[in-house]
Amino acid sequence: MRRELLGLWRFRAVVQDSVHGIIPVNEAEYWLLQTPFLRRLHEVKQLGLSYLVFPSATHSRLEHSLGVMHLASRMAYRVVEASRRNSKICSALFHACSDDVYSAFIQVARLTGLLHDVGHPPFSHMLEDSIRDIVFNPRERGVEDEGILEGLEEARKVIVESGGFVKIHDVYTRHFIERISELSEGSDYEDLNILVRLALESVKPGFSGLRDGDLEDLGVRVEACRLVNYMLSGSVVDIDRLDYLVRDAKYTGVVYGYIDIDRVLEGLDVVEGEGGVTIVAPPKAYQPIEDVFDARFKMYKTVYYHHKLSSLQLALDMAFARIVGEWWSLQPGIYSGVIEGPWELLNPRRLSEIVKEARVYFDDPEVMSLVKTMRMKGSKTAVRWAKALLEARPLLPISLVKRMDELVSEIVKGGEWRAEHVGKVLDNIIHDDETFKGIVERSIKTRGVDRSAVKVERVPRRIVGEVTGALKELVERSVYLRTLIEAASIPVTLVYAYSDDEETHMKLYRERDRIRKLFTQELVREAIGRLKS
């Protein structure tokens, strides 16, 4: 194995990866893989509960992390090659231009890829919004116990201090990486702790508190960490997305995620300009990059925004809220004598300390164990949501709009309106509370059902938001991407009906086709009226 592709330490092992083939691992990385934080990722599924819809989608967050480490290594080597050719690039990123410094930079990139998702909660993104909502709005989520509320208040303070209203997994990742850095101080690998902190700086610039003066011995500037961050999540084809698109397509069994990763990486250029060192896509790279965005668009439409997955996410959210609210009556044995209460699982600082001690992992199996306990010992409402996840698919929230693009197409063919305009009108209607309430009232009329016991949830989704920076320049030069971005910018809003009462919900379920038809008819009628006015 070439030393420059492995960072600072000797080759230790290989991982036979389903996407990238052989991924080499060096000694320090092998050591990190044995820590509780990385072992935990074996039991956190990349796509959460998606395996209930796509049965083969059982791949783990660790697989993805190893894949991103591999791609980070490859892209970092491209940066090193550019530094060897261009002294301005080298001086902007490094204190000295030497093989040892270059190896340190590659090591930072590899560790960033390995650790960038280390803080993901159980079931990855599927539980993230639930955790935030329970921590910040516990009473609205049915949490009444004063002791639990007090503990959640402390968790809330930690999250705000750690970065405020950002993605929850970013906050957890920050605290987990800080604990990993502490663990690495006791390892046999010199400078591993500072390299882990550099990885934190690369995951979230400014979080590590490192300055250039702290890094002279390694020779890597803080600016190099910003470039790694750009490679990870900010460039026109970030390595995080490159891996998960291909990996998720493979494991869900869809054919839309094929990307020629070699052509994408080899086509990118590393340049130095007024804004510092960055990575750009010259015209020769447009075609493989267009394939990336095509894969992204189709994967979001087919997999990530599948109507049944959002239904599962809603059910998981309801079940987890009941787990927290009914904690003392459930008396979960797996945590007995280990934690004081559920708030410790939702406090990123406290959880990082417990995981460091390998006492708790807060992974998928632990949460499913809690769901199974609730199935036996929970309240009537708690049992209803546990059953929805474990055994009774009809108890999942009922989708009233499965595919927004079908409604858009139906309206477009009956008039002269453009699809993106129709999509925005539909989205405005769904988010117009008064209008939406009227549509729901006219649609959900089921004999023997108390309307007040029925809840309707709007789940907004967006494939592409505002196009800025390097991507904007690329879109302006590619006719295909302009067309694709236009289609991907149409808002995707899924709508679900459900009841916390099992009997009421089953009445809705039996009438689901009629309710769905009425709802879509009312929605289309309102949209056409607005388009004509």
Quote the pLDDT of residue 237: 81
Asked if residue 237 and residue 375 are part of one domain, the reply reads no
Asked if residue 402 and residue 389 are part of one domain, the reply reads no
- Any idea which of 175-184, 321-330, 354-363, 472-481 has the lowest mean pLDDT? 472-481
In a domain, 473, yes or no: yes
d(CA 214, CA 224): 14
Please answer whether residues 250 and 230 qualify as being in contact, where contact means their C-beta atoms are separated by less than 8 angstroms. Answer: no
Quote the pLDDT of residue 164: 53
Asked if residue 193 and residue 285 are part of one domain, the reply reads yes
Asked if residue 498 and residue 420 are part of one domain, the reply reads yes
Pick the last residue of a domain from 345, 374, 393: 393
d(CA 516, CA 520): 6
Query: Is the entire prediction scored with pTM above 0.85?
Result: yes
d(CA 76, CA 527): 50
In a domain, 151, yes or no: no
Asked whether the predicted pLDDT for residue 336 surpasses 80, the reply is yes
In a domain, 196, yes or no: yes
- Any idea which of 120-124, 209-213, 310-314, 383-387 has the lowest mean pLDDT? 209-213
In a domain, 35, yes or no: yes
pLDDT tens digits, 203-218: 988 877 888 877 888 9
Closest CA to 184 of 360, 8, 5, 3: 8
pLDDT tens digits, 97-133: 999 999 999 999 999 999 999 999 999 999 999 999 9
The mean per-residue pLDDT over the stretch 366-372 comes to: 96
In a domain, 162, yes or no: no
- Any idea which of 25-29, 175-179, 201-205, 340-344 has the lowest mean pLDDT? 201-205
Asked if residue 415 and residue 268 are part of one domain, the reply reads no
Give me the CATH number covering residue 66: 1.10.3210.10
Helix (H) or strand (E) holding 15: strand 11-17
d(CA 159, CA 352): 13
Asked whether the predicted pLDDT for residue 482 surpasses 90, the reply is no
Pick the last residue of a domain from 304, 332, 349: 304
In a domain, 149, yes or no: no
Asked if residue 15 and residue 128 are part of one domain, the reply reads yes
Asked whether the predicted pLDDT for residue 188 surpasses 80, the reply is yes
The mean per-residue pLDDT over the stretch 417-435 comes to: 88
The tokens describing 430, both together, are: 């769904």
- The tally of CA atoms less than 13 A away on the side-chain side of residue 276 is 12
Pick the last residue of a domain from 340, 373, 393: 393
Residue 159 pLDDT grade (very low, low, confident, very high; cuts 50, 70, 90): very high
Asked if residue 244 and residue 95 are part of one domain, the reply reads yes
pLDDT tens digits, 457-476: 998 887 877 677 667 778 88
Residues in the chain: 533
Residue 2 pLDDT grade (very low, low, confident, very high; cuts 50, 70, 90): very low
Asked if residue 411 and residue 388 are part of one domain, the reply reads no
In a domain, 470, yes or no: yes
Asked if residue 243 and residue 345 are part of one domain, the reply reads no
What domain range is 380 assigned to? 308-393
Asked if residue 473 and residue 374 are part of one domain, the reply reads no
Asked if residue 279 and residue 321 are part of one domain, the reply reads no
Indicate the number of domains in the chain: 3
Quote the pLDDT of residue 274: 79
Average pLDDT over all residues of the chain:
91
d(CA 64, CA 258): 16
Asked if residue 389 and residue 508 are part of one domain, the reply reads no
pLDDT tens digits, 341-350: 999 999 999 9
In a domain, 189, yes or no: yes
